[in-house]
Amino acid sequence: MEVFPLFSTPLSVRTYENRISRKTLDDIKNEEYHDYPKQLDGSCTVDEQILEKYPDLKQLCIEHCAEYIYKFLAIEDHMHMDIVCSWVNKHPTGHSANRHGHTNSMFTGCLYLDVPEDSGDLIFEASYNHATWNTGTLDPPVWEDNIQNSRKWNIRPENGMIVCFPSHVDHYTGINNNTEDRYSLGFNIMLCGDFSAPTRRLIMDSYREPDWNYVKQGI
Ligand SMILES: [Fe+2]
């Protein structure tokens, strides 16, 4: 039997070895942070263009996402990939990230900078409002959780890992049970350029010139 997992929500994951220097990590930890409004939800950098200060990390993020966007999703490479927003999350012991999606963004990425043991998985979830192979009306028990039948999918982060996914997908992180703080760098991507198709004209400008030297390394 052949089974086609139709209408996918692709999530890309790869771990990059030795690409984050000790100095970069120390500098990032010394950035200014402020708390998220919800309790035990961690804090984030005041600077929401953090990747502009760390070009090596920006290159790494673009390299990963260019492969996902231009190669895997086969989006034409005249569409510019613009990182419109980037910040670092800090989760002390007992903190987690509440369930959320990212608005004003097409794709979201996360680079795990320093994630101690048992400091919280990244968890994606499809609510019952989102029909997959079933809806919430009937949810039969399964003898195995797999990629075909699951509404929840966990990723165990490790240092140097990057994930990239469509921004609308709901996600959250587990509680940091380690005594060390957990650091991750989030970023949002908009595609810019000429989206037009017959009767569907749309041109979106980038406010920053795309840096094709970065992008081409991922294609
Ligand atoms: Fe997020």
Which pLDDT value is given to residue 39? Answer: 87
Residue 94's domain spans which residues?
Answer: 12-131+146-217
Answer yes or no: is 97 within a domain. Answer: yes
- Residue 75: alpha-carbon gap to chain centroid: 18
Distance 130 CA to ligand 1 centre (A): 19
Q: What is the model's pLDDT at position 217? A: 64
84 alpha carbon to ligand 1 midpoint, in Å?
Answer: 14
Q: In angstroms, what is the span from residue 143 Cα to ligand 1's centroid?
A: 31
Residue 1 lies in a domain: no
Ligand 1 centre from 164 Cα, in Å?
11
- Nearest of 136, 171, 190, 159 to residue 11 by alpha carbon: 171
Domain membership of residue 157 (yes or no) is yes
Chain centroid to Cα 62, Å, comes to: 12
Distance 172 CA to ligand 1 centre (A): 7
- Tell me, what's the pLDDT at 206? 77
The count of domains in the chain is 1
Over the chain (219 residues), the average pLDDT of each successive run of 10 is 94 96 97 92 95 95 95 93 95 95 97 97 95 93 96 97 98 97 97 94 80 64
**Predicted pLDDT at 215:** 66
List, for residues 137-163, the tens digit of each pLDDT value. 999 999 999 999 999 999 999 999 999
- CATH code of 213's domain: 2.60.120.620
In a domain, 178, yes or no: yes
Q: Would residue 140 count as lying in a domain?
A: no
Give distance in angstroms: CA of 102 to centre of ligand 1. 6
The contacts of residue 22 (CB under 8 Å, 6+ apart) are none
